């Protein structure tokens, strides 16, 4: 009966060790996910800003084009 108790104690310690390792791993992974979420949010904001600037540049270029009938010939 003494051997069974020692075996159970050993198994319990192994399970506690695994649980502690899994808790540490989950906490670490949670930190990675949180960091990636912040980075993704930052990149989405940056992409939105770049898309807005590009649209403004396209609009400005379209407005600044001179109609073909009013172009000054190259020799002027």
In tens, the pLDDT along 40-68 reads: 999 999 999 999 999 999 999 988 876 65
Domain count for the chain? 1
Q: What is d(CA 74, CA 57) in angstroms, rounded to the nearest whole number? A: 26
Residue at 38 is within a domain: yes
Give the per-residue pLDDT at 64: 85
* Mean pLDDT for the stretch of residues 18-37: 98
Tell me the residue length of the chain: 76
Is 50 a domain residue?
Answer: yes
Distances (CA, A) of 45 to 20, 48, 54, 57: 38, 5, 14, 18
> What range defines the domain where residue 50 resides?
32-59
Q: Does residue 39 sit within a domain? A: yes
Decide if 8 is inside a domain.
Answer: no
Residue 23 lies inside a defined structural domain of this protein: no
**To the nearest whole percent, how much of the chain has pLDDT over 90?**
72
Question: Cα–Cα distances in Å, from 28 out to 21, 41, 45?
Answer: 11, 20, 26
Average of per-residue pLDDT across 23-52 = 98
């Amino acid at each position: 009966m003494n051997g069974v108790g020692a075996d159970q104690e050993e198994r319990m310690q192994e399970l506690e060790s695994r649980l502690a390792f899994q808790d540490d791993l989950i906490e670490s992974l949670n930190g990675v996910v949180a960091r990636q979420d912040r980075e993704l949010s930052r990149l989405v904001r940056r992409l939105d800003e770049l898309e807005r600037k590009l649209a403004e540049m396209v609009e400005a270029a379209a407005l600044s084009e001179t109609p073909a009938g009013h172009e000054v010939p190259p020799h002027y």
